[in-house]
Amino acid sequence: MIARSHGLPLLSILAACAAPASTVPPATHASSFDPTLTLPIASEDVAFMDGNVPGTLVHPTAPGKYPGIIFMAGSGPTDRNWNSALLPEGTNGSGKLLAEALAAHGAVVLRFDKAGVGGNKHALTGDVTFDIYRDEGRAALALLRQRPDVDAAHLFVAGHSEGAYHAARVAEAEGPAIAGVLLLSGAGRTLESILLAQIEGQLRTAMPTQTDAVMASLHTAFDDFAAGKPVDPDQVTQIPGLRMVLRSAMAPASATLARGLLRFDPLPVLAKLQLPIFIYNGKKDIQVDPAIDTEALAAAARRTTVVVFLAPDANHVLENEPRAKADIKPTDAGYNKPDRVLDPASVDAISRWIATTISKP
- Per-residue pLDDT of 29-39, as tens digits, reads 344 799 999 99
pLDDT tens digits along 233-279: 999 999 999 999 999 899 999 999 999 999 999 999 999 999 999 99
pLDDT number for residue 303: 82
Half-sphere exposure of 257 (CA within 13 A, CB side): 24
pLDDT tens digits along 181-234: 999 999 999 999 999 998 999 999 999 999 999 999 999 999 999 999 999 999
Q: Do 125 and 40 fall into the same domain?
A: yes
Given pLDDT bands bounded at 50, 70 and 90, which one contains residue 87? confident
Burial of 5 from C-beta contacts in 10 A (0-12 / 13-18 / 19+): exposed
pLDDT number for residue 28: 37
At position 240, the amino acid (one-letter code) is P
**Minimal CA–CA distance to 206: which of 170, 171, 239?**
239
pLDDT number for residue 302: 84
The Cα-based distances of 210 to 23, 64, 147, 237, 329 in angstroms read: 58, 61, 57, 11, 21
Query: Average per-residue pLDDT in the chain?
Result: 89
Q: Do 227 and 310 fall into the same domain?
A: no
Q: Do 84 and 230 fall into the same domain?
A: no
Q: Do 140 and 246 fall into the same domain?
A: no
Q: Do 251 and 275 fall into the same domain?
A: no
Q: Quote the number of domains for the chain.
A: 2
Distance (Å, whole) CA 347 – CA 342? 7
Q: Do 65 and 110 fall into the same domain?
A: yes
Q: Is the pLDDT score of 3 beyond 60?
A: no
3 state SS of 65: coil
Q: Do 279 and 342 fall into the same domain?
A: yes
Per-residue exposure over 317-328, b if at least 16 CB sit within 10 Å of its own CB, e if not = bbbbbeeeeeeb
Distance (Å, whole) CA 321 – CA 31? 34
User: Would you say how long the chain is, in residues?
Assistant: 361
Q: Do 204 and 311 fall into the same domain?
A: no
Q: Tell me what the mean pLDDT of segment 68-87 comes to.
A: 92
The arrangement of strands across the sheet holding 306-311 comes to 8-9, 2-5, 306-311, 277-282, 180-184, 150-160, 66-72, 108-112, 53-60, 41-48
Given pLDDT bands bounded at 50, 70 and 90, which one contains residue 11? very low
* Domain CATH for 119: 3.40.50.1820
Q: Tell me what the mean pLDDT of segment 150-155 comes to.
A: 96
Distance (Å, whole) CA 153 – CA 65? 10
Q: Do 20 and 169 fall into the same domain?
A: yes
Q: Do 161 and 66 fall into the same domain?
A: yes
Q: Do 157 and 230 fall into the same domain?
A: no
The pTM of the full predicted model, rounded to 2 decimals, is 0.88
Q: Is the pLDDT score of 165 beyond 60?
A: yes
For 141, the domain range is 2-189+265-359
Q: Is the pLDDT score of 20 beyond 50?
A: no
* The domain boundary residue, chosen from 240, 260, 280: 260
